[in-house]
């Protein structure tokens, strides 16, 4: 190998090492800069989705259960050849003067022919995409921040719960964005409960009665429902009933619900079949037990 070749290889190796040292935030900023540089129009991008997620038309499903649906069965952006198509996540961003004004999220399928001024960023690394979306959720004061949370939760092999906890607790964020963060944290906690206790799952009349009772509890006002729902989510023996309690906790903005989701998702301690270690239900006030 000549001296010139050795120098070239050394230079390439140095660039590779430096690229690996670039912080994720800077990479996300590069996505933001690419979007801002388009000026005005539509921007398309894709990234890998979780394997348990699929889409069809304007519907996105998780393990066959509907997660969210838009107002029409026909998507103006994506077309499908199968009932539920896996990967990638497809984002369509409306951009005005370099600023994102609207987000539409799809999974699977293929792009329809672009109309008007459309820029396609192609496949974006998952980490770069989620950093960009979480950045929007953490800074935008309107509906874009709220709508950025859903696609972030669909990303493959990326843990987005820690920043979502920060958003849910940030009183400077719009209430709609905080509620959206809390909702998806509740869904994640519910998924964790299901995975741990699938062998205990039931679908009988007794379970339905208990779930109805959980709904009735959730309708109590002024935060009175929260201690009761936490008790059910921690201690009930039926995973379906616990999932129901977690769902309704995800509709609140209560910090006690956020703390429970942290425990379930492993940010603090873990929940088994009984109480959380070091936590007493009595500390939350009155408890309504659904056994």
pLDDT tens figures, 57-74: 888 887 765 555 544 456
Rounded-to-integer distance, Cα 192 and Cα 133, Å: 23
**Sheet strand arrangement including 41-47:** 99-107, 89-96, 41-47, 118-123
Q: What is the mean pLDDT of residues 107-132?
A: 94
Q: Which of 15-19, 109-113, 189-193 has the lowest mean pLDDT?
A: 15-19
Confidence band (pLDDT; 50, 70, 90) for 27? Answer: low
Beta strands in the chain (DSSP E): 41-47, 53-56, 59-62, 65-69, 78-79, 89-96, 99-107, 110-111, 118-123
Q: What is the dihedral of CA 208, 214, 217, 218, to 10 degrees?
A: -110
65 burial level (CB within 10 Å; 0-12, 13-18, 19+): exposed
Looking at per-residue confidence, does 119 or 272 come out higher?
119
Q: Which two tokens stand for residue 21?
A: 């040292």
**pLDDT score recorded for residue 7:** 43
Structure token digits, residue 271: 């929940």
What is the rounded CA–CA span in Å between residue 61 and residue 282?
38
124 closest CA partner among 48, 38, 20, 39: 48
| Residues 288 and 251 sit within 8 Å (Cβ to Cβ) | no
Q: How is residue 114 annotated by DSSP? A: P
Lowest mean pLDDT among 45-59, 76-90, 243-257: 243-257
Distance from C-alpha of 189 to C-alpha of 184, rounded to nearest angstrom:
9
Cβ–Cβ < 8 Å for 234, 289: no
Confidence at 2, pLDDT banded by 50, 70, 90: low
Strand 59-62 relative to strand 65-69, pairing:
antiparallel
**Helix and strand numbers, DSSP H then E, in the chain:** 11, 9
With residue 201 as reference, give the H or E element that holds it.
none
Q: How far apart are CA 144 and CA 137, in angstroms?
A: 7
**Lowest mean per-residue pLDDT among 48-57, 214-223, 276-285:** 276-285
């Amino acid at each position: 190998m000549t001296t010139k070749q050795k120098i070239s290889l050394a230079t390439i190796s140095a660039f590779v090492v430096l690229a690996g040292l670039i912080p994720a935030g800077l990479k996300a900023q590069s996505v933001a800069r690419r979007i801002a540089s388009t000026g005005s129009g539509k921007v398309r991008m894709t990234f890998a989705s979780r394997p348990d997620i699929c889409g069809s038309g304007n519907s996105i499903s998780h393990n066959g259960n509907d997660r969210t649906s838009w107002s029409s069965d026909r998507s103006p952006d994506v077309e499908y050849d199968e009932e539920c198509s896996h990967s990638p996540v497809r984002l369509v961003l409306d951009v005005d003067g370099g600023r994102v004004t609207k987000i539409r999220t799809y999974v699977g399928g293929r792009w329809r022919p672009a109309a008007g001024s459309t820029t396609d960023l192609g496949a974006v690394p998952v980490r770069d995409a989620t950093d960009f979306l979480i950045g929007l959720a953490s800074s935008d004061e309107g509906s874009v921040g709220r709508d950025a949370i859903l696609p972030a939760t669909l990303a493959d092999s990326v843990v987005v719960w820690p920043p979502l906890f920060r958003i849910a607790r940030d009183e400077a964020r719009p209430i709609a964005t905080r509620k959206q963060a809390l909702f998806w944290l509740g869904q994640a906690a519910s998924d964790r409960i299901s995975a741990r206790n699938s062998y205990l799952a039931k679908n009988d009349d007794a379970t339905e009665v208990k779930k109805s009772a959980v709904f009735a509890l959730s309708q109590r006002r002024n935060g009175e429902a929260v201690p009761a729902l936490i008790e059910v989510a921690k201690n009930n023996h039926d995973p379906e009933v616990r999932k129901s309690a977690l769902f309704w906790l995800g509709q609140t903005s209560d910090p006690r619900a956020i703390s429970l989701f942290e425990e379930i998702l492993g940010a603090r301690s873990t929940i088994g079949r009984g109480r959380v270690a070091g936590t007493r239900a009595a500390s939350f006030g009155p408890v309504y037990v659904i056994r």
